[in-house]
Amino acid sequence: MNQYQELKPITVIGVPLDLGSGRRGVDMGPSAIRYANLHEKLTKIGFDVEDIGNLSVPTLETYKVIDPKLKYLDEIVAVNEKLAETVSETVEKGRFPLVLGGDHSIAIGTIAGVAKHHRKLGVIWFDAHGDLNTHETTPSGNIHGMSLAASLGYGHEKLVHCGGYAPKVGPENVVIIGARELDPGERKLIKELGIRVFTMHDIDRIGMARVMEEALKVVTDGTDGVHLSLDLDGLDPKDCPGVGTPVVGGITYRESHLAMEMLAEAKVLTSAEFVEVNPILDIGNKTAKVAVALVGSAFGEIVL
């Protein structure tokens, strides 16, 4: 197994986008995560950390939905193009891009910026949902449910070709962990493409350690980098109440930490994003604090 990442300096990029989701408030996610002492956590582990602030994002009230199957398409594309450019520049400087959302539609831009620098990128999609819908299968029209599909080359042309090329990743190097709510169109695409999905049934049955062992094999098979896209709704709502689309019966706090710890031990992570923290729906910034704790584990924080 190649060791892709050894204590690279980190650049934090905030993307306060909420146009891709169905509920307001997730635009405050980057601030909530920062407020939960993200910078202090990473510097204590030993990283050189720079925070370049937030990208400029349109306010929902100033725009109208033109296509109910692709809500706020042009605005979301514009933000993701800028994000892809920013992430690419970060990688070119030899720094690790750590992106804070915002809703999960920002993964389109993050992966576009990262994959440009990797011949073959592995992706761990830590989420209760597949985010594998397209404008043809979506039940909601919310683009945060289309981001993985777009990165794989499926969906509307503007989403698929973010960054000027497509596809960004191959299905053989993508793993979804924690899925427990998949739409019919997503199930169909998963079967067609042979994407490896570890549902909550799998985690219950074989345990998170085995899931991560198998997931790491998939995302490191012939790849030269691994991206982590972590949606906080992958965790159980008891631990992360501040998310827009909570689904009961999720990954536990400790299972999540074990997953991040094993990812850190593998030394394969080359980029990451933590998304869908919604402070309006949260209790005492609990979800943002969990996000920061998981960042710590993913970047090598250990008890002993």
Give the pLDDT score at 6. Answer: 63
Q: Please give the tally of structural domains in the chain.
A: 1
Q: Answer yes or no: is 201 a known binding residue.
A: no
- Residue range 279-294, pLDDT digits in tens: 999 999 999 999 999 9
Q: Is residue 304 part of a domain?
A: no
Q: Answer yes or no: is 236 a known binding residue.
A: no
Q: Is residue 5 part of a domain?
A: no
- Residue range 137-167, pLDDT digits in tens: 999 999 999 999 999 999 999 999 999 999 9
Q: Answer yes or no: is 282 a known binding residue.
A: no
Residue 4 has pLDDT above 60, yes or no: no
Which band of pLDDT confidence, cut at 50, 70 and 90, is reported for residue 62?
A: confident
The mean of the pLDDT values for the chain is 96
Give the pLDDT score at 97. Answer: 98
Q: Answer yes or no: is 27 a known binding residue.
A: no
Q: Is residue 135 part of a domain?
A: yes
223 φ/ψ angles, rounded to the nearest 5 degrees: -95, 165
What residues act catalytically?
104, 127, 129, 131, 144, 231, 233, 276
- Residue range 83-138, pLDDT digits in tens: 999 999 999 999 999 999 999 999 999 999 999 999 999 999 999 999 999 999 99
**Whole-number Å distance between alpha carbons of 176 and 251:** 13
Q: Answer yes or no: is 129 a known binding residue.
A: yes
Q: Which residue has the tokens 């062992």?
A: 213
**CATH assignment of the domain containing 277:** 3.40.800.10
Give the pLDDT score at 59. Answer: 87
Instruction: Give the per-residue SS3 of 248-294.
Output: CCCECHHHHHHHHHHHHHHCCEEEEEEECCCHHHCCCCHHHHHHHHH
Q: Answer yes or no: is 202 a known binding residue.
A: no
Give the pLDDT score at 302. Answer: 86
Tokens linked to 29 = 């996610």
Give the pLDDT score at 81. Answer: 98
Residue 1 has pLDDT above 80, yes or no: no
Domain carrying residue 262? 10-298
Distance of CA 75 to the CA centre of its chain: 19
Q: Is residue 4 part of a domain?
A: no
Residue 2 has pLDDT above 50, yes or no: no
- Residue range 185-204, pLDDT digits in tens: 999 999 999 999 999 999 99
CA dihedral angle for residue 198, residue 165, residue 298, residue 31, rounded to 10 degrees? -110
| Nearest of 197, 78, 67 to residue 142 by alpha carbon | 67
